[in-house]
């Protein structure tokens, strides 16, 4: 299903478009696209298809798709659900490579069979389809308006470096409105609807190689082929492109039904959050946050990634300064101290009782001129990359400041710096024209200081260094599909253990590996042995072992009376080290993920875990380990021994590769994996391997 990236060029920049089902009535939905193409100067050829007309508004109209001339790149199908399949079939016959269907009445309306028919036609003819149930697409640079969006009645967005791809048509349309209000430039706008064929990630793949695109913003409710997200995001980051995702549906579904700890902990929100971090994409929670960030990227361009790019703040309220510092701390944005030159300059401008520090509080002690001088000083400070001004009519006639602000931003840009403007209260709002002037002059204008701080912080994250590329694991060869086989192939070192059928066998094995030992009930029907009293640890001698055998047998008989009991496992006891859990599960959206975290009894109690999409390299695994709260226990904190973290990472990496390729395994728990003191490696005590059909211990 993966397409060559270049292959969507003719969809987004078609040389000729056919509008199938076009209407001459501009008031009707089916009348709009032709009008838009004319109004916004599409330079290619346009044809209409409708048996009722010979021409529509000067455009040649043919009765059927079969009557179209050669060379059509894109067919926009405005026909209702029942007519889509025949029209698409006709496109295929005519060799038209791309089609868009806006009709509703498919999977979203409980008619998946109609949608599957479209997929079959696409496969048969090699036609690529956008939709159905979508609003179409837009390419302002080329005047391509393959959409019925009402917003085009108002205006066409200006060309710019942002590609927006949304599954929801209504939200796509509303974002288009907001983009026009804020004058945010667009390279393309696409509503993917039901994604019968082309999905959001196909467009991501395209825009990675589109030189006009610098930022890719997505609104998704559920990714199709989500396992492609990580490699695509890695490529986007390597190309220096920001990938921004607003995701709906963060609630944690389907956790409880899982047999493994890993499955239970793998809530969709948590996995997404971790994979977003791994992939270097910026996950966004609300429409406002998305708009603020794309506005910041549009107006300021991408962040330099320069560590010295700090925020300088000028307010008339010390209290607000502290609130802004709080917001900056929350969002991880630096508010640096000033150098001596800046401090001296400010001191000369402010009364002696005012403290001179970042954020600067001028109170009501400056007129417009003095305020401007303060701003220029802060902007010139070597540690300041962006200056934030909080304007208020309490202090200044800030409308009179607008021309100066535009100049200030101009000068700033020449030095690779920026200016952001916001307002103290809801009374302090700019007229629309003034705001546009400032935006056009390259100032970021947002309604509150907290939103400026959040947008700047996300802009920095969008420019964070790309993760190193990771080789995908080699496909698995035909192999024995047992838990033991899987663990052996993954090279997971297990503690010595033996299945014993009698206390005598247990005593013999314990004598061989040495006391103390652990005794555990062996049953295919008991996933969590502790819960049925099926485990005894620290058995120091023969007497303790015999006693424990009896106790476990009694407890299991009572608490799991119907379980098949195969005997008991006797295991050498590893007492030095820290217990981790390593697991694998299949996220319904993102595919196979590795989980690592605090293990043993702590696994589900602490929920101190991190997820990685696959493939994941050793560097990413080590980084995920460092994010765990229990990480200090691995590195010799509080007088403890330093542990063999390298060995643990190596085991996790082998498990990650094995879990990626051995797709017959659906869930996996290694719990605990004991990380032993440096030089002694890491060893697994228990493992659970779950397949869709059965549990294999």
Q: Number of residues in contact with a second copy, rule: CB under 8 A?
A: 80
Q: Kindly tell me which of 427 and 693 has the beta carbon lying closer to a second copy.
A: 427
Check residue 316 for interaction with a second copy (CB under 8 A). yes
Q: Segment near a second copy (CB under 8 A), from 104-112, 209-217, 459-467, 519-527?
A: 104-112
Q: Least distance in Å: CB of 126 to a second copy?
A: 30
Check residue 448 for interaction with a second copy (CB under 8 A). yes
Q: Least distance in Å: CB of 567 to a second copy?
A: 20
Q: Segment near a second copy (CB under 8 A), from 92-100, 209-217, 525-533, 655-663?
A: 525-533
Q: Kindly tell me which of 13 and 606 has the beta carbon lying closer to a second copy.
A: 606
Rg (CA), the chain: 31
Q: Using CB under 8 A, which residues numbered 28 to 57 contact a second copy? A: none
Residue of 33, 34, 89 lying closest to 66 (CA atoms): 89
Residues 689 and 65: their CA atoms lie apart, in Å, by 54
What is the number of other CB atoms lying within 10 angstroms of the CB of residue 525?
11
Q: Kindly tell me which of 292 and 666 has the beta carbon lying closer to a second copy.
A: 292
Q: Kindly tell me which of 81 and 144 has the beta carbon lying closer to a second copy.
A: 81
Residue of 235, 665, 650 lying closest to 470 (CA atoms): 235
Q: Least distance in Å: CB of 78 to a second copy?
A: 15
Omega within 30 of 0 (cis) for the link into 516? yes
Applying CB under 8 A, which of residues 632, 663, 664, 679 lies at the interface with a second copy? 632
Instruction: Look up residue 345 and give its two tokens.
Output: 């300059």
Q: Using CB under 8 A, which residues numbered 366 to 405 contact a second copy? A: 392, 394
Q: Least distance in Å: CB of 560 to a second copy?
A: 11
Backbone angles phi, psi at 610, to 5 degrees: -135, 145
Q: Least distance in Å: CB of 639 to a second copy?
A: 4
Q: Segment near a second copy (CB under 8 A), from 100-108, 475-483, 543-551, 648-656?
A: 100-108
Is the Cβ–Cβ distance between 632 and 668 less than 8 Å? no
Residues 44 and 38: their CA atoms lie apart, in Å, by 10
Q: Kindly tell me which of 221 and 525 has the beta carbon lying closer to a second copy.
A: 221
Check residue 557 for interaction with a second copy (CB under 8 A). no
Check residue 219 for interaction with a second copy (CB under 8 A). yes
Q: Least distance in Å: CB of 334 to a second copy?
A: 13
Q: Kindly tell me which of 238 and 563 has the beta carbon lying closer to a second copy.
A: 563
Q: Least distance in Å: CB of 685 to a second copy?
A: 16
Q: Kindly tell me which of 487 and 517 has the beta carbon lying closer to a second copy.
A: 517
Check residue 258 for interaction with a second copy (CB under 8 A). no
* Contacts of 697 by beta carbon, 8 Å cutoff, 6+ apart: 483, 522, 524, 687, 688, 689
Instruction: Look up residue 174 and give its two tokens.
Output: 């509303």
Q: Least distance in Å: CB of 286 to a second copy?
A: 5
Q: What is the DSSP letter of 669?
A: E
Residues 618 and 581: their CA atoms lie apart, in Å, by 17
Q: Segment near a second copy (CB under 8 A), from 112-120, 200-208, 480-488, 638-646?
A: 638-646
Q: Using CB under 8 A, which residues numbered 593 to 622 contact a second copy? A: 601, 604-608
List 188's β-bridge partners, or say none: 163
Q: Kindly tell me which of 358 and 448 has the beta carbon lying closer to a second copy.
A: 448
Instruction: Look up residue 535 and give its two tokens.
Output: 């485990």
Applying CB under 8 A, which of residues 55, 116, 531, 558 lies at the interface with a second copy? 531
For the chain, how are helix, strand and coil distributed in percent, rounded to 5?
A: 40, 20, 35
Q: Segment near a second copy (CB under 8 A), from 82-90, 271-279, 316-324, 399-407?
A: 316-324
Applying CB under 8 A, which of residues 119, 253, 322, 484 lies at the interface with a second copy? 322
Q: Kindly tell me which of 55 and 221 has the beta carbon lying closer to a second copy.
A: 221
Applying CB under 8 A, which of residues 5, 44, 231, 318 lies at the interface with a second copy? 318
- Convert residues 126-165 into a mask of x (bound to a second copy by CB under 8 A) and - (unbound): ------------------------x---------------
Q: Least distance in Å: CB of 21 to a second copy?
A: 18
Applying CB under 8 A, which of residues 4, 66, 108, 306 lies at the interface with a second copy? 108
Check residue 170 for interaction with a second copy (CB under 8 A). yes
Check residue 334 for interaction with a second copy (CB under 8 A). no
Residues 536 and 546: their CA atoms lie apart, in Å, by 11
Which runs of consecutive H residues, i.e. helices, occur in 332-448?
Answer: 340-349, 368-380, 398-414, 432-440
Q: Least distance in Å: CB of 544 to a second copy?
A: 13
Q: Segment near a second copy (CB under 8 A), from 36-44, 105-113, 118-126, 542-550?
A: 105-113
Pairing between β-strand 682-684 and β-strand 667-675 as defined by DSSP bridges: antiparallel
List 387's β-bridge partners, or say none: 312, 419
Check residue 428 for interaction with a second copy (CB under 8 A). yes
Q: Segment near a second copy (CB under 8 A), from 4-12, 39-47, 311-319, 478-486?
A: 311-319
Backbone angles phi, psi at 14, to 5 degrees: -70, 150
Q: Kindly tell me which of 239 and 450 has the beta carbon lying closer to a second copy.
A: 450
Check residue 285 for interaction with a second copy (CB under 8 A). yes
* Contacts of 481 by beta carbon, 8 Å cutoff, 6+ apart: 664, 691
Q: Kindly tell me which of 146 and 246 has the beta carbon lying closer to a second copy.
A: 246
Quick check: helix, strand or coil at residue 319?
helix
Q: Least distance in Å: CB of 142 to a second copy?
A: 25
Query: Sheet holding 310-315: strands in order across?
Result: 360-361, 310-315, 384-391, 418-423, 444-445
- 633 vs 25, 598, 637, CA distance in Å? 72, 10, 6
Residues 55 and 685: their CA atoms lie apart, in Å, by 77
- 476 vs 470, 479, 482, CA distance in Å? 18, 8, 14
Q: Segment near a second copy (CB under 8 A), from 82-90, 300-308, 424-432, 474-482?
A: 424-432
Unique residue bearing structure tokens 């026909």: 79
Check residue 171 for interaction with a second copy (CB under 8 A). yes
Unique residue bearing structure tokens 């003719």: 10
Unique residue bearing structure tokens 């698995």: 476
Check residue 502 for interaction with a second copy (CB under 8 A). no
Is the Cβ–Cβ distance between 574 and 548 less than 8 Å? no
Q: Kindly tell me which of 221 and 339 has the beta carbon lying closer to a second copy.
A: 221
Q: Least distance in Å: CB of 597 to a second copy?
A: 12
User: Using CB atoms within 10 A of its CB, is residue 453 exposed (0-12), middle (13-18) or buried (19+)?
Assistant: buried
Residue of 216, 357, 191 lying closest to 281 (CA atoms): 216
Is the Cβ–Cβ distance between 144 and 155 less than 8 Å? no
Q: What DSSP string describes 243-285? A: EEEEE---S--S-TT-SSHHHHH--HHHHHHHHHHHHT-EEE-
Which runs of consecutive H residues, i.e. helices, occur in 446-588?
Answer: 449-462, 483-489, 503-513, 542-559
Applying CB under 8 A, which of residues 250, 347, 369, 626 lies at the interface with a second copy? 250
Q: Using CB under 8 A, which residues numbered 172 to 191 contact a second copy? A: 173-175, 177-178, 180-182
Q: Segment near a second copy (CB under 8 A), from 13-21, 118-126, 309-317, 486-494?
A: 309-317
């Amino acid at each position: 299903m993966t397409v060559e990236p270049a292959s969507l060029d003719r969809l987004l920049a078609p040389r000729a478009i056919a509008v199938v089902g076009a209407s001459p009535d501009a008031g009707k939905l089916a009348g709009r696209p032709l009008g838009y193409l004319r109004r916004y100067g599409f330079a290619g050829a346009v044809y209409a298809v409708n048996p009722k007309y010979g021409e529509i508004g000067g455009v040649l109209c043919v009765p059927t798709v079969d009557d179209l001339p050669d060379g059509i790149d894109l067919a926009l199908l405005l026909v209702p659900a029942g007519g889509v399949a025949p029209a698409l079939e006709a496109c295929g016959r005519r060799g038209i490579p791309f089609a868009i269907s806006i009709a509703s009445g498919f999977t979203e309306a409980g008619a998946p069979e109609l949608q599957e028919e479209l997929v079959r036609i696409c496969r048969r003819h090699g036609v690529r389809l956008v939709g159905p149930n979508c609003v179409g697409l837009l390419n302002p640079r080329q005047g391509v308006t393959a959409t019925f969006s009402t917003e085009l009645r108002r205006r066409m967005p200006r060309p710019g470096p942002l590609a927006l791809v949304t599954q929801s048509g209504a939200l796509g349309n509303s974002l288009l409105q907001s983009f026009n209000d804020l004058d945010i430039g667009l390279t393309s706008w696409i509503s993917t609807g039901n994604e019968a064929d082309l999905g959001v990630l196909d467009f991501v793949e395209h825009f990675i190689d589109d030189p006009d695109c610098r930022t890719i913003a997505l609104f998704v409710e559920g990714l199709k082929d989500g396992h492609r997200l990580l490699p695509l995001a890695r490529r986007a980051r390597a190309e220096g492109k920001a990938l921004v995702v607003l995701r709906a549906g963060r609630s944690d579904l389907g956790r409880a039904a899982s047999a493994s700890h890993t499955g239970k902990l793998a809530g969709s929100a948590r996995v997404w959050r971790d994979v977003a971090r791994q992939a270097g994409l910026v996950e966004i929670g609300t429409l406002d946050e998305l708009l603020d960030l794309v506005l910041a990227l549009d107006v300021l361009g991408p962040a330099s990634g320069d560590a010295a790019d700090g925020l300088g703040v000028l307010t008339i309220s010390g209290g607000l300064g502290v609130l802004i510092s709080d917001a900056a701390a929350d969002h991880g944005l630096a508010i640096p101290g000033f150098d001596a030159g800046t401090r001296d300059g400010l001191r000369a401008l402010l009364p002696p009782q005012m403290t001179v520090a970042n954020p600067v509080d001028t109170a009501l002690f400056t007129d417009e001129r003095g305020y401007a001088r303060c701003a220029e000083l802060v902007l010139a400070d070597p540690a300041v990359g962006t200056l934030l001004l909080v304007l208020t009519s309490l202090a200044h006639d800030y409308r009179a400041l607008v021309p100066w602000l535009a100049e200030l931003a101009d000068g700033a840009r020449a030095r690779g710096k920026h200016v952001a403007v916001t307002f103290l209260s809801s009374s302090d709002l700019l007229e629309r024209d003034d705001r546009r002037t400032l935006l056009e002059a390259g100032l970021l204008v947002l309604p509150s200081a907290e939103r400026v701080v959040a947008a700047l912080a996300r802009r920095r994250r969008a420019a964070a260094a790309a993760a190193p590329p990771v080789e995908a694991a080699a496909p698995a060869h035909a192999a024995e599909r047992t838990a033991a086989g899987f663990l052996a192939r993954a090279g997971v070192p297990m503690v010595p253990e033996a299945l014993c059928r009698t206390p005598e066998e247990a005593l013999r094995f314990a004598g061989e590996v040495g006391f103390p030992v652990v005794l555990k009930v062996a049953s295919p029907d008991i996933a969590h042995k502790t819960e049925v009293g099926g485990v005894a640890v620290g058995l120091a001698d023969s007497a303790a072992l015999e006693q424990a055998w009896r106790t476990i047998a009694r407890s299991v008989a009572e608490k799991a009376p119907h379980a098949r009991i195969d005997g008991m496992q006797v295991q050498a006891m590893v007492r030095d080290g820290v217990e981790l859990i390593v697991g694998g599960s299949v996220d319904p959206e993102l595919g196979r993920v590795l989980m690592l975290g605090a293990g043993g009894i702590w696994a589900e109690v602490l929920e101190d875990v991190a997820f990685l999409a696959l493939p994941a390299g050793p560097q990413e695994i080590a980084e995920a380990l460092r994010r765990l709260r229990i990480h200090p226990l691995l590195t010799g904190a509080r007088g403890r021994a330093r542990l063999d973290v390298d060995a643990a990472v190596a085991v996790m990496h082998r498990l990650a590769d094995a879990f990626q390729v051995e797709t017959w395994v659906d869930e996996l728990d290694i719990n605990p994996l004991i990380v032993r003191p440096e030089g002694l490696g890491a060893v697994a005590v228990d493992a659970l391997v779950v397949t869709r059909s059965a549990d294999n211990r």
